[in-house]
Amino acid sequence: MIEAVGLTKRYGAKTAVDQLSFQVKPGHVTGFLGPNGSGKSTTMRMILGLDRPTSGHVTINGSPFRELPNAQRHVGALLDAKAVHGGRRARTHLLSIAQLSGIPEKRVDEVLAVVGLQDAARQRTKGFSLGMGQRLGIATALLGDPQVLLFDEPVNGLDPEGILWVRNLMRRLAAEGRTVFVSSHLMSEMALTADHLIVIGRGRLLADMGTQEFIAHNSAGFARVRAADTDPDGRDALGTALTRAGGRVLQEPDGALRVTGLELPRISDLAHAAGVRLWELSPHRASLEEAYMRMTQSAVEYTSTDDPRAELWEQDPLALPAWEDEQAAPEVPRAAFFAPPPPGAGGSPFLMPSHPGELASTAKDSPEDTR
Ligand SMILES: Nc1ncnc2c1ncn2[C@@H]1O[C@H](COP(=O)(O)OP(=O)(O)OP(=O)(O)O)[C@@H](O)[C@H]1O
């Protein structure tokens, strides 16, 4: 088990990790998530004794890393796949680490096979692709057959087969009772790999809970319902009926309605009573990505802006011909693509028109907005 208590790291005026306390338990894959610069690598470096905490402490199976006897046999880590001597062959690289840790040579060939690098064993690592480097880093982590494993962005640069392989490897290592702590920005992959999550933002703990619980806590399930395209008034009638019945209704970009507060059978009954034929009625479970985006949106340090492409083009190369411009669909606010916002976080619920044909106004002050 990894245990951090009040872990803090300051670099001058910058607090990279701020009073972090958490446990990473054996038998689980624990995902370590956070926006760029939130302190994940710094935390991992402190766990591995590569950085000294400004205050607080972190232990592995009860001892600080530096006090573990023959740490390589207890803890394996992939932090930076590029941190290898480029002039060395892959096998030599692994062999030198094995010899330092009293690991038999046979084990080197075993891990090369596990990561699929047998054929590249005698290649110099400077010629390795990003994915091959990652595989070598994973082989290094597995060398001592450790009980505790840390992986910083292990799927970075891997092809789809490699990503699937890493997922299965992590799950197998956890099923064997090992402690597996893995950071990644690939939310779809984390949702499939991790059963527990530790989420940080600006160095602070934001969440420490099961993956499914995290998704349920930070997103709302909803129903998607779409009136038949052949019935132009159907959507208005449906929206009115659902809103009157106490549902919260948002417009989807494709003309469907996103409904919260009403069960699917009730939506079906209301549509039937309103004489609206449906082409779609489906439950939607929010993704880890949606839940993560919502939780971390205020903790993102590095945000992008649109590229104005100043003076690079005499005229806007993206300008549409006038007729196409006129037909373009009105822009839908980005927030509308995600699940309805959490209580008190604002948003644009769909307000049914008081007059037919008057669709899609927002309801900031609507009495029906009772979130
Ligand atoms: N050696 C250092 N000296 C000064 N500042 C540092 C140092 N290492 C990290 N930082 C700062 O600490 C903060 C956390 O960095 P860290 O690399 O731990 O984040 P991260 O969550 O791993 O980011 P990413 O997802 O981009 O890899 C950043 O603001 C970074 O600039």
Å from CA of 41 to ligand 1 middle: 7
Residues of the chain with CATH 3.30.70.100: 219-297+333-362
**Best mutation site among 7, 11, 202, 296 for ligand 1, i.e. most ligand atoms within 8 A of its Cβ?**
11
Query: Which pLDDT score, from 0 to 100, does residue 178 have?
Result: 97
Q: Looking at the domain covering 2-216, what would its CATH class be?
A: alpha beta
Instruction: Tell me if 154 CB under 6 Å of ligand 1.
Output: no
pLDDT in tens, 213-235: 888 888 777 899 999 988 888 99
Query: Which pLDDT score, from 0 to 100, does residue 85 have?
Result: 78
Contact residues for 217 (Cβ-Cβ < 8 A; gap 6+): 207, 209, 291
Å from CA of 40 to ligand 1 middle: 8
Contact residues for 60 (Cβ-Cβ < 8 A; gap 6+): 1, 2, 47, 68, 74, 75, 148
Q: In what order do the strands lie in the sheet with 278-284?
A: 278-284, 222-227, 257-260, 248-251, 350-351, 361-362
Strand partners, 282: 224
Q: What is the DSSP string of 18-40?
A: EEEEEEE-TTSEEEEE--TTSSH
What tokens does 339 get?
């699940």
Q: Which atom of ligand 1 is nearest to the CA of 153?
A: 27
Question: Averaged over 187-200, what is the pLDDT?
Answer: 94
Question: Averaged over 319-328, what is the pLDDT?
Answer: 44
| pTM for the full predicted model | 0.74
Instruction: Tell me if 144 CB under 6 Å of ligand 1.
Output: no
Helix (H, G, I), strand (E, B) or coil at 128: coil
How sure is the predictor about 10, in pLDDT bands with cuts at 50, 70 and 90? Answer: very high
Are β-strands 55-60 and 75-78 bridged in parallel, bridged antiparallel, or unpaired?
unpaired
CA distance 140 to 125: 13
CA distance 11 to 274: 63
Q: What is the dihedral of CA 79, 81, 87, 90, to 10 degrees?
A: 100
Query: Which pLDDT score, from 0 to 100, does residue 361 have?
Result: 37
Residues of the chain with CATH 3.40.50.300: 2-216
State the Rg of the chain over Cα: 26
pLDDT in tens, 325-343: 434 334 433 333 334 444 3
Query: Which pLDDT score, from 0 to 100, does residue 338 have?
Result: 39
pLDDT in tens, 345-359: 443 333 334 444 443
How sure is the predictor about 314, in pLDDT bands with cuts at 50, 70 and 90? Answer: low
Instruction: Tell me if 270 CB under 6 Å of ligand 1.
Output: no
Question: In CATH, what number does 219-297+333-362 get?
Answer: 3.30.70.100
Reported ipTM: the value is 0.97
